[in-house]
Amino acid sequence: MSNNSRQGTAESPARAGGESNNVPSQNNNLKPVQVKLVLLGEAAVGKSSLVLRFVNNEFQENKEPTIGAAFLTQKCRLEDKVIKFEIWDTAGQERFHSLAPMYYRNAQAAVVVYDVTKSASLDKAKSWVKELQRQANPNIVIALAGNKIDLVQPTEEGEEESAESGRQVPTDEAKAYAMEAGLLFFETSAKKGDGVRDVFTEIAKKIPLELMMSPRPRQIVNGGPSPLPGLPRANGQNPGQNSGCSC
């Protein structure tokens, strides 16, 4: 849920469309390749803010917590392809954990976010990575993103020491872990925009070509999350099979 609508202001940035500056107009005839991506991580590390920066190039101070999950899309261009990210932004509170499989199953990419000023958030990120590697799509591309580097960047000379001291996760440590676990690694600032775009473009590059070019598995057609175990869809039908059917 967007804060904009809460404030009752006129809003409607190209959301589903995402025909933003990323896609030159001459490429509009290119059929976008859909990539389902999920964001995971501890509460208040800035998952929603990262997405908001990527999709609308905006930042909201004190963005309200995500409950359940939020869904957004954004297109971006990679060489001769147009990639449409279908992004599931999940709730951070541990209690919502049971909903997560619904969102990461069938995802081709995941961004696991932690807060560089909170070491505990990296531990949580690690456990998400473990879970993804064990239970998600085996080809899933996982990126680790250390957010909020604006809080530890020196703003002016002389403040360097005090600002740096707010950092609890050294870059090297997280990088080493990412290497070892086979993850892409970034440090980002959703507030200032640093590194946010790189996360998504690097993911796009790394997703196996055949998976993107070949007809995609049916259940991804709708980008929809798969049902929870024990919670099959209505009439036991998979909407993926339904959509092509005229009955």
Tokens of 155: 């703003």
Closer to other proteins by Cβ: residue 193 or 227: 227
Q: How far apart are CA 242 and CA 180, in angstroms?
A: 42
CB 113 to other proteins: min, Å: 14
Q: Which among 184, 180, 177, 187 is positioned nearest to 205, based on CA atoms? A: 184
Closer to other proteins by Cβ: residue 43 or 163: 43
Closer to other proteins by Cβ: residue 185 or 189: 189
CB 191 to other proteins: min, Å: 13
Closer to other proteins by Cβ: residue 138 or 215: 215
Closer to other proteins by Cβ: residue 122 or 178: 122
Q: How far apart are CA 46 and CA 18, in angstroms?
A: 21
CB 70 to other proteins: min, Å: 6
Q: How far apart are CA 63 and CA 44, in angstroms?
A: 9
Tokens of 221: 């057609």
CB 237 to other proteins: min, Å: 9
Number of C-beta neighbours around residue 126 at 10 A:
16
Residues in contact with other proteins by CB under 8 A are 1-8, 11-12, 15-16, 43-44, 61-73, 86, 91-96, 98-99, 102, 222-225, 227-228, 231-236, 238-240, 242-243
Q: What is the dihedral of CA 217, 218, 222, 225, to 10 degrees?
A: -70
CB 120 to other proteins: min, Å: 9
